[in-house]
Amino acid sequence: MGIDFHSKDNSKTYTTRLADISWIREVKQLLPIGNVSRALDIGCGGGIYTKALADMGISYVTGVDFSESMLEGARENCKEYKNISFVQGNAFETGLGSNEYDLLVERALIHHMKDLNACFAEAFRLLRNGGFYLVQDRTPEDCVIKGDANHIRGYFFERFPKLTQKETRRRHRSQIVINMMQEAGFKNVKEVKLWEIRKVYDNKGQLLKDLRERAGRSILHELDDEELGVLIKHIDRSLHRDTNIVEKDRWTIWIGEK
Ligand SMILES: C[S@@+](CC[C@H](N)C(=O)[O-])C[C@H]1O[C@@H](n2cnc3c(N)ncnc32)[C@H](O)[C@@H]1O
């Protein structure tokens, strides 16, 4: 099992929400966004964060993904934006020009790859001197936080412990990410933690529908339909609130400068 990013069935899975203001504020606090005119979003999926970068006032944003199916969803999602384009490419070797970009964002990408060396070397090549690299992912510690009324993901692992092993194995430890970014040539590498609002649901029904569709949650592709039904029932019973559910996830952001 596991998600197939190349399947047409998944082309809209990373388009079903907008980046929350909590993410936009954090990025603006971490980086001099006013100085960024060309940004890249690699592993862009359906373009949620490509769009957020353009909305921050960045003059031109290019989204890159190795899946043509994801890019189809992303193009549709961002069709109103004249300052966004999408190209197919692999994070290890994008085929894009060297020393051209002021900012490169890779959100929720690195847990899908084992060879961080090649990914970070490509990032370094793409950025201009003084450009910033922002990597966002979960560490194994971020993944095992208990479920509660806001941290819905925690329930996945509580109800299906087999997912914990899968999840923590594919996530990179923070110190390893930091060391490898430094080895790739990045300086002033730092780590920050972020509780990002993923989505706000008017009622529980909306959240349960989102879960049933496995929207934007690759880990749920590790469960079959019956198991997913069991998980949804568990979450339904665990949440005592029916309205205004604010779902938050814990992330680690690493910033480096070329
Ligand atoms: C979990 S999704 C994240 C999408 C988006 N960044 C977001 O945060 O909503 C990971 C994305 O990375 C893409 N991807 C995975 N491995 C890749 C690679 N080696 N090169 C380029 N894209 C890749 C997948 O196709 C998928 O769209």
Tens of pLDDT along 33-73?
Answer: 999 999 999 999 999 999 999 999 999 999 999 999 999 99
- As a three-state string, the secondary structure of 71-110 is HHHHHHHCCCCCCEEEEECECCECCCCCCCEEEEEEECCH
Strands (E), 99-242: 101-107, 127-137, 187-203
The amino acid at residue 239 is: L
The number of C-alpha atoms within 13 Å of 5 and in the hemisphere containing its C-beta is: 18
> What atom in ligand 1 is closest to the CA of residue 89?
21
Please give the pLDDT value at position 4: 83
In tens, the pLDDT along 133-177 reads: 999 999 999 999 999 999 999 999 999 999 999 888 899 999 999
**Residue written as tokens 């998980």?**
231
Instruction: Estimate to the nearest angstrom the gap between the alpha carbon of 17 and the chain centroid.
Output: 12
127 Cα–ligand 1 center, Å: 19
CA distance 85 to 21: 23
Radius of gyration of the chain (CA): 18
Average of per-residue pLDDT across 12-27: 91
Q: Domains in the chain, start-ordered, CATH in brackets?
A: 8-257 (3.40.50.150)
pLDDT at residue 1 tops 80: no
On average, the pLDDT of the chain sits at 95
Atom 1, ligand 1: residue with shortest CA distance: 108
Atom 12, ligand 1: residue with shortest CA distance: 43
**Residue to probe by mutation, ligand 1, list 53, 112, 218, 252, most atoms within 8 Å of CB:** 112
DSSP of 11-22, one letter per residue?
TTTT-SS---HH
Packed helices 48-55 and 21-30: angle between N→C axes, nearest 10 degrees: 60
| Per-residue confidence band for 14, with pLDDT thresholds at 50, 70 and 90 | confident
65 Cα–ligand 1 center, Å: 6
CA distance 241 to 203: 8
| Per-residue confidence band for 2, with pLDDT thresholds at 50, 70 and 90 | confident
Cβ burial of 188 (10 Å; 0-12, 13-18, 19+) is exposed
CA distance 40 to 100: 10
